[in-house]
Amino acid sequence: MATVALVTDSTSDIPLEVREQLDIAMVPLKVIIGGETFLDNIELTPRQFYEKLTSSSELAKTSQPSPSDFFDTFKKLTDQGRPVIYVALASVLSGTYQSALIAKSMLDDDADVTIIDSRTASYGYGMLVVAAAKMAQSGVGKEQIVCEILRMREEMRLYFLVDTLEYLQKGGRVGKASAVIGTLLNIKPILSIDNEGYVYPFEKVRGQKRAFGRIAELLEEDFGSDPINLTIAKTPGFEAGVAELTELLKGRLNVAQFLETEIGPVVGTHAGPGTLGLFIIRA
């Protein structure tokens, strides 16, 4: 067992098998849909969620973990004498980070817990947690791991594409008129997340093929021939698009490591089905 313990929450979209392999603890958020409440990625799989989402007449809602949820996880690990690093969903997107801070204040003074605001979402910080967990398993100390997480956080590049603006409009991300016009004109907004963690429209293009090409151009500008770790996260409805984009990027970039994962229910609540995310960092 690694000395340093890594903790994440369910919106990091790290596959279960990866969490188990790397001994990553996960605290789930909650999803409320159809009058029922589910633990994200535990009681409701992504595929089950998107089936409910498309058939429900009501907008799904999400709920952050309570401080006691984090307290239980932190205490279990610190009682083992292990320093803990928790990398949180962007604090501007959720109160999850604040719940973790409250939980830390409830622990004994000698409990060693470091909480990091990822300033991002989905595998944008899942990738950081996985890299940190691998370092921990190799025996790297907590301070060095924290420094590496902060460095990677600044260098991370990420882009999102959505198949429809409907869910962003329902959640207040875009106006209703923009959503209707965007759908009619086949506008594909390339979304990203800024340095504080806010989602913003990076660029708008017409059609999926052009959006894929533009993303490839942006990544070539950022990374050139440098080896990169690339993750593509998808929701149901984007399988064909994932294959097309993967082939394009592997042909134009030096992809040293590739992972495909699913966007979970919490992120999917706000982005909707047919969403695709790309997360890239130098290898």
Contact criterion met (CB below 8 Å) for 84 and 77: yes
**What is the overall mean pLDDT for the chain?**
88
> Would the CA dihedral through 17, 19, 25, 31 be positive or negative?
negative
Give per-residue pLDDT as tens, 46-78: 888 988 887 877 788 999 999 999 999 999 999
pLDDT over threshold 50, residue 175: no
pLDDT in tens, 203-237: 888 888 899 999 999 999 999 999 999 999 998 76
- Min mean pLDDT across 60-64, 136-140, 164-168, 190-194 is at 164-168
Give the pLDDT of residue 272.
Answer: 77
Residue intervals of the chain classified under CATH 3.40.50.10440 are: 5-29+64-154
Q: Which residue type is seen at 112?
A: D
Burial class (CB in 10 A: 0-12, 13-18, 19+), 31: buried
The whole-number average pLDDT for the span 154-183 is: 62
Question: Do the Cβ atoms of 108 and 100 come closer than 8 Å?
Answer: no
Q: Between 99 and 184, name the one with better pLDDT.
A: 99
Residue 227: which H helix or E strand, with range? strand 227-234
Distance CA 253, CA 226 (A): 8
Tokens of 41: 């990625």
SS (H, E, C) 265-283: HHHHHHHCCCEEEEEEEEC
Pairing of β 24-27 and β 5-9: parallel
Q: Considering the domain 157-282 in this protein, what is its CATH number?
A: 3.30.1180.10
Confidence (pTM):
0.89
Return the DSSP state at 77. H
Average pLDDT of 29-40?
A: 92
User: Between 243 and 185, whose confidence is greater?
Assistant: 243
For residue 165, CA distances in Å to 96, 200, 247, 276 come to 26, 13, 26, 13
In the chain, which segments carry CATH 3.30.1180.10? 157-282
Nearest to 126 by CA among 161, 156, 100: 156
Evaluate if residue 130 carries a pLDDT over 50.
Answer: yes
Report which of residues 161 and 75 the model is more confident about: 75
CATH of domain 5-29+64-154: 3.40.50.10440
